[in-house]
């Protein structure tokens, strides 16, 4: 993959934390808790990203930027609270697992920034996804072997293909490209759009209704994104042109 030997430990660690561990924690948390818990707890990733990036000296976010992140959290809470499942309480175990998943994504976002200063987003995305998938294989292989693949309907295969290519490969590529230019903190701030678009697609594809509280939350989310458009000062990032 053309990765320098000195960067392999960071790359492997990022793949384990951001792909393998994050997926395991998220799926287990979603199974033990609720969709509303998943939405609001995983949406705390930007706050953890800012905290971790600041602690390691990677970024120095302004007070205004921190306020925009907090405003985004308020918007996410309104979107989730306004949904029909917003009143359901997830199990404590599920909530803890989902919070841990948010922390792993934040750590992952910070870890890959130095790599994006030396390599292209394409290369980092391919390496991280491949390594993370190999680490996931031993965990999922027993269940896969026990499944009669011939009975799986075509619609399920389409969903699996979209989850693998769209939600992992394409998403990681776009995300890596973005945070290389704007930093981990500002890039993570756009994760607040996930629950907003989740509601939109639920209406368009599933016919769900939207409440006034959800619309208000969506407006707050957009306001937080616009108010945080000023990029935090970045420190310790290699500024050289990455390899193709």
Predicted confidence (pLDDT) per residue in 150-163, tens digit: 898 998 899 889 88
State mean pLDDT over 20-42: 79
Contact partners, residue 80, CB within 8 Å, separation at least 6: 36, 39, 40, 86, 195, 217
Domain of 161? 8-234
Q: Percentage of residues in the chain with pLDDT exceeding 70?
A: 81
Mean of the per-residue pLDDT values for the chain? 77
Number of domains in the chain: 1
* 191 lies in some domain: yes
Print burial letters for 108-118: b (CB count within 10 Å at least 16), e (below 16).
bbbbbbbbbeb
- Note the pLDDT of residue 34: 65
pLDDT band at 238 (very low <50, low <70, confident <90, very high): very low
* 87 lies in some domain: yes
The pTM of the full predicted model, rounded to 2 decimals, is 0.70
State mean pLDDT over 171-197: 74
* 147 lies in some domain: yes
pLDDT band at 229 (very low <50, low <70, confident <90, very high): low
Q: Where is pLDDT greater, at 229 or 236?
A: 229
* 239 lies in some domain: no
- Note the pLDDT of residue 190: 76
State mean pLDDT over 196-209: 74
State mean pLDDT over 85-89: 48
Whether residue 182 has pLDDT greater than 70: yes
Lowest mean pLDDT among 28-37, 71-80, 92-101: 28-37
- Note the pLDDT of residue 35: 65
* 1 lies in some domain: no
Whether residue 104 has pLDDT greater than 90: yes
Q: Where is pLDDT greater, at 101 or 222?
A: 101
Range among 77-81, 158-162, 226-230 rated most confident: 158-162
Lowest mean pLDDT among 29-33, 38-42, 121-125: 38-42
Whole-number Å distance between alpha carbons of 158 and 180: 31
Whether residue 113 has pLDDT greater than 70: yes
Contact partners, residue 143, CB within 8 Å, separation at least 6: none
* 35 lies in some domain: yes
* 167 lies in some domain: yes
* 164 lies in some domain: yes
């Amino acid at each position: 993959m053309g990765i320098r030997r000195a960067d392999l430990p960071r790359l492997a660690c990022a793949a384990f934390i951001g792909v393998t561990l994050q997926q395991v924690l998220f799926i287990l948390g979603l199974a033990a808790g609720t969709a509303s818990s998943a939405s609001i707890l995983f949406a705390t990733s930007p706050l953890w990203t800012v905290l971790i990036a600041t602690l390691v000296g990677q970024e120095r976010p302004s007070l205004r930027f921190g306020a925009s992140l907090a405003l985004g959290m308020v918007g996410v809470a309104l979107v989730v609270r306004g949904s029909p499942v917003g009143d359901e309480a997830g199990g404590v175990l599920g909530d803890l697992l989902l919070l841990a998943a948010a922390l792993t994504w934040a750590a992952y976002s910070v870890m890959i920034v130095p790599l994006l200063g030396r390599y292209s987003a394409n290369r980092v995305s391919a390496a991280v996804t491949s390594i993370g998938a190999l680490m996931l294989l031993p965990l999922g292989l027993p269940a896969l072997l026990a499944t009669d693949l011939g009975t799986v309907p075509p619609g399920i295969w389409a969903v699996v293909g979209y989850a693998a290519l769209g939600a992992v490969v394409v998403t990681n590529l776009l995300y890596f490209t973005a945070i290389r230019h704007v930093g981990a903190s500002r890039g993570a701030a756009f994760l607040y759009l996930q629950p907003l678009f989740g509601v939109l697609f639920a209406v368009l594809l599933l016919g769900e209704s939207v409440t006034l509280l959800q619309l208000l939350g969506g407006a707050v989310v957009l306001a937080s994104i616009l108010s945080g458009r000023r990029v935090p000062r970045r420190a310790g990032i290699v500024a050289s042109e990455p390899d193709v």
